[in-house]
């Protein structure tokens, strides 16, 4: 059941990709091949594990989970009202990643700066 759901999401996303996304995947693949040829892929993978460990910090993970839950709730409501369908799944994911997460970062940065100003 879960695998068929994952297959459906993958097929839907692949069906919605255009040349720009395919070009990005090809460039990332070429970069990985280059790093593998230079013997630096292992150091990049080690660096990525550090980044993943930092991303799993509760200070980052909790706001990200709140954003994803909020987005899923809004998408469900829009789907039930007929404003959203699976034809815009890729656009929705890209919007959450490239608009939602930076917005949270900006908000948290402003709150941090305002706290610094109040304490000084």
Residue 16 belongs to what domain range? Answer: 1-54
pLDDT of residue 120: 59
DSSP per-residue codes, 43-71: HHHHHHHHHHHHHTSHHHHHHHHHHHHHH
23 with 81, same domain: the answer is: no
63 with 119, same domain: the answer is: yes
pLDDT of residue 80: 95
42 with 4, same domain: the answer is: yes
47 with 89, same domain: the answer is: no
pLDDT, tens digit only, all 120 positions of the chain? 566 777 877 788 888 888 888 899 999 999 888 887 887 777 878 888 998 998 899 888 888 899 999 999 999 999 999 999 988 888 898 899 999 989 888 888 888 787 666 765
């Amino acid at each position: 059941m879960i695998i068929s759901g994952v297959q459906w999401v993958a097929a839907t996303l692949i069906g919605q990709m255009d040349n720009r996304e395919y070009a990005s995947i090809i460039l990332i693949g070429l970069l990985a091949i280059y790093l593998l040829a230079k013997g630096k892929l292992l150091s990049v993978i080690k660096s990525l594990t550090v980044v993943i460990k930092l991303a799993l910090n509760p200070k980052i993970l909790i706001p990200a989970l709140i954003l994803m839950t909020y987005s899923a709730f809004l998408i469900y409501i829009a789907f039930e009202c007929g404003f959203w369908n699976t034809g815009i799944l890729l656009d929705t994911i890209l919007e959450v990643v490239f608009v939602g997460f930076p917005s949270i970062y900006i908000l948290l940065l402003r709150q941090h700066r305002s706290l610094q100003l109040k304490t000084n």
